[in-house]
Amino acid sequence: MGPVSRVIIDTDPGVDDILALLLALSATAGEIEVLLISLTFGNIQVRSCLRNVVSMFHIIERELEWRRQRGQTERFEALKAFRPTIAVGADQPLDDEMMLADYFHGLDGLGDVHSTHPHLTPEETWESVFFPSAGPAVEPAPSAQHASFIVSTKPAHQEILRILRENDPGTITIVAVGPLTNLALAAAEDAETFLQAKEVVVMGGVVDRPGNVTPLAEFNTFADALASARVFALTSPKPSSTMPPTNLATPSALPAYPEGLSKKLTLKLFPLDITTSHNLTRGQFRTRVAPIAATGSPLAEWLSAILAHSFGKLDALHPGHEGDRAALSLHDPLCIWYALTPTSPAWTASADSPVDIRVETTGQWTRGMCVVDRRDRKRRDDDGPDSSDHGHWLSDKRGNRIWKMAGSPGCDLFGEFLLDRLFG
C-alpha cells in the first residue's frame, strides 16, 4: 500500500457526490485522510448541500451504532481516524446565469429523501452554527462541534488556502467533483499557495462524446465555465494565454494571475469520456443492498430511498434501459477511487496527454464546451507571433496542459467495489 492520500474534497452533494464522500470516509485509515469537505452550489443550492452532508454524517453515526449493537465490523475507519472540516463556499457562479441539476437529483439533491423519509434526516439546527446570525465570523466552541466533523464559519476557498499553507507543498490533493468556483476563488486570492497542491483531480468536462447538459457540455464545466477556464489556465506555461475574457463591469470579476508564477498546476481531468462507463446498476444495488436494508441498516435504507429516485429518473431518460439494467454513472466516486489508489499503474491518461484543453465561456450554444485542437498542424517551440495560429494553439510555450484520464482499474469492477466498501 502506498502513502496515505491527504485530500480536500470540493463538492455539491448530489447523489453521486454523496456516494463519493461515503467511499472516501469508509476507506481504511491507511488509505486516505479527508481534511476538508468544501461545499459549492451546483446540483442544488449550497445550503441544501450543507443539509445533505450533515445528514450523511447523521446516517453514518446511526449506521455505526447499529453495527456495534449487532457485533458487526464498523468500517468507516478513515472517518474515525480523522474528523474532516466542513466549510460552506460559493452560492453562485463567478459570472453568467446559475443552473442547477435538481431536475435529476431532486429538489433537495437526494431524491427528496428529506420529505419522504424524515426519520432519517437530522433536525436543522446546524445551519445556525455555520451561519452565525450576527457579529464577526468565529470558530464555534468545542462544545458546539459535531462528533464526526469540525465546523468552519470561514468561506470554503479560504479554508482551502489555510490547509495548503499549513501543510508541506505537494502533500495535499484537491478532489473537485462540482463546479470549480471555490477553486477559482482560492487561486485568485493566492495563486502561489494554491499551486502548492500536489494535484487537482477534477470530475468535469467532455471531450470526445456528447455532453450531459447540452450537446457539447458536461454539467460542472457548464455550471461555472469561467471558473473552470481560470483553473485550467494554471496548467499553462503562460496562464494569460488561455485566461477567459474579463468583464471588468461585473462586480464578481476576479483579477488576472501574477506574471511569473513559480510552477504549473498538475490537473488530472476525469471527463464524461471515462466516468460514464463506470456504473452501478439497479440490479447490482437491489441484489446487494435490499437484504441489508430489510435487517434495519440505516445506511442501506437511506441509500435505497435516494437511489430509487435516481433509477426512476434513468428509466424515464433512457428507454430500453429500464428495470435492473438502469445504470447510474458513478462520475464523482471514480475520482475518489483514484484518490485511494493514485499509484496504481491501471490509472492511465490518454496517449496525447497532457492535452491543451480550454473551456468555452462566451458562446451562445457552446458554454462549458471543452475545446481541443483537432487540426493536423506542425507545432512550434517558439513564442513569436503567427497570424495563422490564432489563439496560440500550436505554441509549446502557451496553452493548457491537462492530464485527460482514460484508463482505470476496471469499469466493470467499480460498482461492486463501491458496495463492498460501504457494506462489506
Tell me which residue has cell 437526494: 110
Q: What is the mean pLDDT of the chain?
A: 92
Rounded distance between C-alpha atoms, residue 279 and residue 297, angstroms: 23
> Which of the two residues, 193 and 117, has the higher pLDDT score?
193
User: Is the predicted pLDDT of residue 349 greater than 50, yes or no?
Assistant: yes
Per-residue pLDDT band for 143 (boundaries 50, 70, 90) equals very low
Rounded distance between C-alpha atoms, residue 36 and residue 22, angstroms: 14
Residues in the chain: 424
Question: Measuring CA to CA, which residue among 292, 278, 304 is closest to residue 423?
Answer: 292
Q: What is the pLDDT of residue 100?
A: 86
User: Is the predicted pLDDT of residue 306 greater than 80, yes or no?
Assistant: yes
Q: What is the pLDDT of residue 135?
A: 47
Q: What is the pLDDT of residue 95?
A: 87
Per-residue pLDDT band for 145 (boundaries 50, 70, 90) equals low
**CATH homologous superfamily of domain 5-246+261-373+392-423?**
Ribonucleoside hydrolase-like (3.90.245.10)
Question: Measuring CA to CA, which residue among 320, 338, 318, 341 is closest to residue 330?
Answer: 338
Q: What is the pLDDT of residue 144?
A: 47
